[in-house]
Structures are given as structure tokens and as C-alpha cells.
Structure 1
Amino acid sequence: MTDEQAYWAAVRTVRLGVADLLDSLTVAEWDAPSLCRGWRVRDVAGHLSSVPTITTWSMMRVGPRAGFNPNRINTVVALRHGSRPADQIVGAIREHASERHVARVLDARNCLFDAIVHSQDIAIPLGREFAVPAAFSREGLERVWAMGWPFNARRRLAGLRLTATDTDWTVGAGPEVAGSALSLLLLLTGRASTVVDSLNGPGVPSLSN
């Protein structure tokens, strides 16, 4: 998406969709494990609720506790926001769904794929479906493939040709791995074991190596 308005409209759509999904969950589902290791569903939701409003300072304050490790800082913040009552978390997601702010240490270009991937981190282990337009997932693929750390997708999946079956996105060279843009986005962000059964092509066996 080269249009900034379209990008943020997509972010808003996914955020509001996640809020609707969360509203449908039972108490037990809120405390169920998500696809993010060590995070409950409510912690993923807490993370999503914090992204539009968190400041660099509030992230740095937990730095010593997290050993100044970015992933641990993210976890501390997620668990803190996830500990709030469910209605407050959902309310915050809805209230700030249109917000374009991100902390200086974050990157606004990550907001869309972050919301998409975390929607699946919530939905998939609960046996729920959360549909994402292929165009939104394609935007996420472009970003994750280009960004390097923390997913290093280009390096991890070197030697494979990745092809989306529902939009015009293909990268790499070698044995093909084909699937929906959403499945490929989950693959690129380190969730291969979750989506491997939805992928096709001669390159798929190498994903489990």
C-alpha cells in the first residue's frame, strides 16, 4: 500500500475486528495460551491495546527488569496491560483503533502486520477464525520480508520460492512453498509449525528441518 490513508484504514479495520473477536470470548478463553510462547490470549490483547499509546519512556522504565532485552521488554509490557479487566482492554483497542502514534523506538510500518499476526495468535489456538483480506496480508509480507530483525525471514527461508495463492506476491528462488498470504505471513514471522499443513509445494518438507 503506497497510500498512507489506505494503510491506516487497514490497521483500524484489523484492530476493530480483533476487538469484536475478543468481545466474543469466554472467561476461560481469555486466560488460554496464545501462539506467543508464555503469553495468554489476554496478554496478546494487552499488547495490541498498548501499541497506539505506549511511550518510549514507559518502555525504557521496564528495561532494567527485562535486562534491556527488546523481546523481554515487550513481554513485560504485554503482561502488564494484559492483567487489566477484559472490558478495559477491549475498550482501549476500540478507542485507539484509528491512532497513528507509535513510540519512537517502534516503527509505524509494523502496525498492520503486528495486528494481523496477533489476531491469529489469539484465534488459532482457540479454534476461532479471523479473516484477513489478502491485500492486508500482502502488505505485511512486504514489510516482514524487507525488515530483517527480529524475524530474519529472508535469511531463514533462503533457497525457497514463496508464492501467495490469493494475491500477486512471490519472492525467492528454489523449491516452491505456496499458500495464502496470511499463511505465508505467519510463516515469515516464525509460526511455521502452525501453518505448515496449509502450505503446498516441494519446499514444504524443508520447513520442518
Structure 2
Amino acid sequence: MEQDQAWVVIAQQRRALADLLDDLTPQEWEAPSLCERWRVRDVAAHLAMTPHSPGIGRILYEGLRARGDFDGLNHDMAVRYAARPTAELVAGLRADAENRSRPAITTWRNLLFDTIVHVQDVALPLGRGVPMPPDGTVAGLDRVWRMGWPFWARRRLRGLRLVATDADWAVGDGDEVRGPAGALLLLVTGRGAVAQPLLDGPGTARLTTSAG
């Protein structure tokens, strides 16, 4: 996927999340997302603040405060941003849907799958359906499979062959795990508990130990 196409998908996903958030009750805003220790509010804030991420100096300072814990840094920054009124978070997602600014420590390729997956982190536990964009999902699969940290997908899923049943995408060697590309993207990004019921094939018996 080309960069311009990726930004179009990111904008569509931001608007889709804003539409979902419009209808949430106060209790749903505080509900757990798929991300451990992250509320729905925190994930929404993370995506809303992305175009306004602080510069590299502030990120390094926050990283030192978090003692090198990047996940902790992300969490703490999102929680602080999440203190804003919910209407402000929703309005920010819409206003910045096409904003191509990004944090200094990431790339547009990472931002693509990050946005797609985080929308599902909100939608799925609330029982809401937000379609995962086919081309963006496959591009996300390619990116996550090639990268190491933080998912280490090739290491965790060594000995398995992942095959998308709705797209021309397959990687790995070994026992097959088959399913929709969206479910595979959830799997490779560490959301195996949600992905596993959507997958089949002889390799699924190993997912409880491989996907963690």
C-alpha cells in the first residue's frame, strides 16, 4: 500500500471510531478495552492525540520517567490526555481525521496498523462492529510480520503457517492457521484470545502457547 492510500485508510478509521464513540454511555467510556490496563477512554485518547504527539525531546523525557518502559509511557500519556471531556476527544478525532502529523518515533506504516487495531480494541469488547479495511489490514499484516519489537510475531508464531481466507496473504511454515485477514492481524498483534475463535486449521491447537 502506498503512503497516500494509507493516510486515506487512517482518516476513515478515525471517523469510524468517532461515529462509534458518539453513542457510548458514560459506563462504556470507562469499560476495559482489549488493551490490558487501557479503558475505552484511554484508547480513544491515544488515537486522538496522535497528530499532536509531543516532540522527540519530550518523548525521551517521558521515557526516562517511565524507566524505558515504552508501553508504560504510552499508557501514561494516553491516560493524561483521556482526562479531557469525551466530546472533545470525539471532536478531535473528526477534526484531525486527515491530519498527517505523526509521532517522531513512528512511521506511517506503523500508524496504519496501529489505528486499525486500536479501533477494534474499542469496538470488540463493546460488541460493536467496525469493518476492518481489507487493503489496510493486509498492509498491516505485512508490516507486523516483518517487524520485531514489540510483537515479535515471527518468533511467537514460529512453526505455523498463517493463511488469510479472504485475501491473498500467507506467511510462515508449518501447521496452518486459517481465517480472515482481520482475525490474523489481531493474532499477530497479540490479541490471540479474541482472534482464536475466528480461526481454524491444525495449527490453532498451538495458539494458546504461541500467541500469549
Q: Are 2:35 and 1:36 aligned?
A: yes
> CA separation in 2, counterparts of 1:74 and 1:154?
24
Structure 1 length-normalised TM: 0.95
Q: Point out the more displaced range, 157-166 or 57-66.
A: 57-66
Q: How far off is 1:20 after superposition?
A: 0.8
Deviations 1:89-136 (A, max 9, x none): 111111111111212222221111111111111011111111112222
Moved over 6 A (4+): none
SS in 2 for 1:52: helix
Q: What runs of 5+ residues in structure 1 fail to find an aligned partner?
A: none
Per-residue CA deviations over 1:118-159 (Å, capped at 9, x if unaligned) read 111101111111111222211110111111100000111111
Q: Percent identity at matched positions?
A: 47
Count residues with an aligned counterpart.
208
The aligned counterpart of 1:72 is 72
Helix, strand or coil at the partner of 1:203: helix
For the aligned residues, what is the CA RMSD?
A: 1.2
Aligned residue type for 1:53: H
Query: Hey, what does 1:63 align to over in structure 2?
Result: 63
Counterpart position of 1:150: 150
Write out per-residue CA displacement over residues 143-191 of structure 1, whole angstroms, 9 at most, x where no aligned residue: 1111110000011111100011111100011110011111000000001
Task: Judge conservation of contact 2:109–2:143 (CA < 8 Å) in 1.
Answer: yes
- Cα deviation per residue 1:66-101 (whole Å; 9 max; x = unaligned)? 123111110111111112110111111111111112
Taking structure 2 as the reference length, what is the TM-score of the superposition? 0.94
Whole-angstrom distance in 1 between the partners of 2:196 and 2:204: 7
Residue 13 (structure 1) aligned with residue 12 (structure 2) = yes
Instruction: Work out the CA distance in 2 between the residues paired with 1:106 and 1:70.
Output: 12
Gaps of 5+ in 2: none
Contact preservation (8 Å) 1:141, 1:185? yes
Distance, in Å, in 2 between the alignment partners of 1:57 and 1:27 is 35
CA contact (8 A) 1:54 1:103 kept: yes
Q: Which residue of 2 aligns with 1:93?
A: 93
Amino acid paired to 2:34: L
